[in-house]
Amino acid sequence: MKLENSIVFVTGANRGLGLAFARAARDRGAAKVYAGMRKTEGFNEPGIIPVRIDVTDKGSVAEAAKLAADTTLLVNNAGVAELIEGALSGDVEEQSRRMFDVNYYGVVRTTQAFAPALLGKPQAAIINVLSDIVWLARPILTPYAASKAAAWSYTNQLRHDLVDKGIQVLGLHVGFLDTDMTNGIDVPKTSPEDVARQTYDALVAGKNEIMADDGTRALKSTLSAEAPGYIAPPEGVI
């Protein structure tokens, strides 16, 4: 899919990776860029249109899809993450419900709401922001990992469902990003701008997946090994 003259809707676009996606789409020639966010007050980016959307609220998602019915590229970026003591923590279930509502069901709600508009376009695509966590054991992120694994599975089913309908589905896997969400975590981080660039390059090239950092690429390469990365993480993967 070409970015030039496309009409892009990015969820969770008020900051971090979502904002990087919105800016990159604008700078690469998109005809219109919608920045979806829960609160639009104070958002002021030239060439980017703020739209209220709460991906946990089906009515809010439907209103956003109606307003942006000309969308040709949907970027499902909205997400939340929290740390937890481990897989046996007493609040795993409670936290998992919050994680799934945004990171999994939010993707499903938004995709289903925008699908009728995308299906009517001669060229359309969906980008789902996933994570290296689907292949890596980090007990302090247990609920987040489960929600992203579910989103990855949905992305794979969606791709096969839409392949004959002319809609490209691209899954983005990446590790820690240099955003507000990871402030105070002392690990190697990738810049959101670089991830947005790589992802759009992959989209234009017609790819189905993009591994956007060295650690994620190393991790993915272990999946057919006798001791894959989710059992024995490769050196350099945190």
Q: Count the domains in the chain.
A: 1
Q: Determine the structural domain holding residue 194 and report its residue range.
A: 7-220
101 within some domain? yes
The CATH number covering residue 101 comes to 3.40.50.720
- pLDDT by residue (tens digit) across 1-58? 999 999 999 999 999 999 999 999 999 999 999 999 999 999 999 999 999 999 999 9
180 within some domain? yes
232 within some domain? no
235 within some domain? no
Bridge partners (DSSP) of residue 127 are: 75, 170
230 within some domain? no
User: What pLDDT score does 184 carry?
Assistant: 57
Residue 183 in this model has a pLDDT that exceeds 60: no
- pLDDT by residue (tens digit) across 122-168? 999 999 999 999 999 999 999 999 999 999 999 999 999 999 999 99
User: What pLDDT score does 94 carry?
Assistant: 97
96 within some domain? yes
Which structure tokens are listed for 32? 């219109």
- pLDDT by residue (tens digit) across 216-235? 999 999 999 999 999 988 76
140 within some domain? yes
91 within some domain? yes
Measured CA to CA, the distance from residue 71 to residue 73 in angstroms comes to 6
